[in-house]
Copies of this chain bind each other. A is one copy, B any other.
């Protein structure tokens, strides 16, 4: 068996081949949400399975789900060594607005240091990088650990069949740890590892007043307008310091230690760049915390939607019968979506006037994830990143939620390392998605080193 340096040298000599092959993968328009691409989804799954077969995986299967299949592959020839379950997804986002793309989304085009194509960063580039790292070990005498690959085809449509799939395939998916490649780093030359992901609790709230829309002239002044009540309820959910007022909302929120805050402050972060990325007049948030802390380590409550009465062009003097809001909370570790639901109900019970009725539905939820950065797999990833980039990785608290991570944690009780090489400006889900090629190449190297480190 080769050592890690030999494997890294091996992949460094094959960059041209790798890039050519990545382009093949990027040309397949595997848009999971559009039924006219069903056949392309099948082609993309076949393409991934073909690569696994070509590197002599003992078992490669395309496993059906209710919609798009999972590609599963096994290489288990390292007895006594740990088993890694590698997660990726082969589906991509739709491409509209198409006219904003500089080059066509499924004609991968290199400009500068980047390759532009839909799915380049999210996440075919990373699927391919991990496959090439595995291939390099196998071509050089075999992998230092056991590997199960699990590429899903429904990530961009919310993984509707993932929970059932995991339930039905628990023994197949058993592993010592999960390597989730759907992740990124803060800057091109700065490696990072996810330390935490926020959870989610998403609600729809209806306020009902009169039984039907009323004439605002005839009835205005005699009934509590449900849109006004809804506005009052929403307004009361934050105090003047930007804190959420739901009773007990911060009770289980762990305060960051001085050390953690200091570490986080080391993460490169420009408030000016962040503000420019949002295009907002000013930054805003919970007082006494930095923007980095607020987006990564503090819970939030956001209005995602508002609807009531007449919203078309012009004037219609309707006093609406009802008003609706979609509200979601981003949760941090130890918060729980059932708790925040209770807190929201308690708030509404206390604050909603008797002049209206209200109705609350929970639409989606997922717990926050805290990654144990002292675990063996995480330490292996830290070592691999430091060797590849020549600098210690920073730990990143990501504001978003990655449902698959909490699903696997919940159903498999297996810890996850999130290691990927996307960049914040890769235009995910937007026109002109790109992948930074130097990081694609470094990604292959880092994955190769990771397998070595995780096997020890």
Contact = CB atoms under 8 A, between A and B. Distances in A.
B309 A399 contact: no
A294 B221 contact: yes
A283 interface: yes
Contacts of A295: 218-222
B278 A214 contact: yes
21 contacts: A202-B315, A216-B302, A217-B400, A218-B400, A220-B302, A221-B399, A222-B283, A222-B291, A222-B294, A223-B278, A223-B284, A228-B238, A230-B231, A231-B231, A280-B355, A305-B308, A305-B310, A306-B323, A307-B307, A311-B324, A314-B364
A285 B222 contact: yes
Contacts of A364: 314-315
Interface of A: 198, 200, 202, 209-212, 214-225, 227-228, 230-232, 234-238, 274, 278-286, 291, 294-295, 298, 300, 302-311, 314-320, 323-326, 328, 330, 353-357, 363-364, 398-401, 429
Contacts of A318: 304-305
B320 A280 contact: no
A300 B221 contact: yes
B306 A230 contact: yes
B224 A284 contact: yes
A217 B311 contact: no
A303 B399 contact: no
A89 B418 CA distance: 71
A401 B278 contact: no
Given A212-B279, A217-B399, A218-B295, 8 more contacts: A221-B294, A224-B284, A231-B303, A231-B306, A235-B236, A280-B355, A282-B355, A317-B328
A277 to B, nearest CB: 8
A219 B278 contact: yes
Nearest to A424: B218
A308 B400 CA distance: 21
Contacts of A200: 217, 317
Nearest to A297: B221
B400 A215 contact: yes
Contacts of A216: 300, 302, 304, 328, 330
Given A235-B231, A355-B284, A222 B309 contact: no
Contact of A198 (B217, B323, B353): B217
Nearest to A204: B315
